[in-house]
Amino acid sequence: MCQEEMKKISLLTSLMILMTGFYTTALPAETHCNVCSMKILENSRQHFLVRDESLGKEPLHICSVTCLHKIKQFNSKISNIEVAQFNEPLKFLKADKAFFLVKSEKIKDDAGSMVMPPIAAAFTTQKEAQAAQKKYGDGTIILGLENALKSIEK
């Protein structure tokens, strides 16, 4: 009797594992932050891609500056980072060549409700960044992710 129950339980467990596997593959592909597991919307304006061979072939998805800090603490050698363009969130650009608008309070409303501050909005040109700075009326423009992160820390 006891063994029977054990069998039932193990059967149920394997069935559940099977079903979980089925559901995860059946659902449309979703992106989650590799640091905090939070969902990253496809058109998120704060979305970093970290490419590093030591971390595997697929790029890591990072949802925010906060999580980016965490991953850099974990592996300080990470340098190949891309960032979603604020004006065209589906496109990514090299983070060390991006112009960031940081320390803008008003940009938060446009960055999306899912986004965790501090916001580092990335633009392809200084002109674009200046246009955003003018639009929101605050913030500082900084070239390159490293410098932007440093300025946010202060």
Residue ranges in contact with Zn ion by CB under 5 A: 33, 35-36, 38, 63, 67
Residue 9 C-beta: closest distance to Zn ion, Å: 36
How much of the chain is in helix, strand and coil states, percent to nearest 5?
A: 40, 20, 40
In sign, the C-alpha dihedral spanning 103, 109, 110, 113 is positive
Provide the minimum distance between the beta carbon of 66 and Zn ion in the complex, in angstroms, as a whole number.
7
- The nearest distance, CB 60 to Zn ion, in angstroms, is 10
- Are 136 and 104 within 8 A, CB to CB? yes
Residue 25 or residue 37: which is nearer to Zn ion going by CB? 37
In angstroms, the CA 119 to CA 129 distance is 13
**What distance in Å separates the CA atoms of residue 10 and residue 21, rounded to the nearest whole number?**
17
Q: Specify the residue, 67 or 101, whose C-beta has the smaller distance to Zn ion.
A: 67
Of 38 and 49, which has the nearer Cβ to Zn ion? 38
Comparing CB distances to Zn ion, the nearer of 43 and 125 is 43
Question: Residue 78 gets which letter from DSSP?
Answer: -
Query: What is the number of the residue whose Cβ is closest to Zn ion?
Result: 33
Q: Quickly tell me which residue has 């916001």 as its tokens.
A: 119
Least distance to Zn ion, CB of residue 152, Å: 15
Name residue, tokens 């580092």.
120
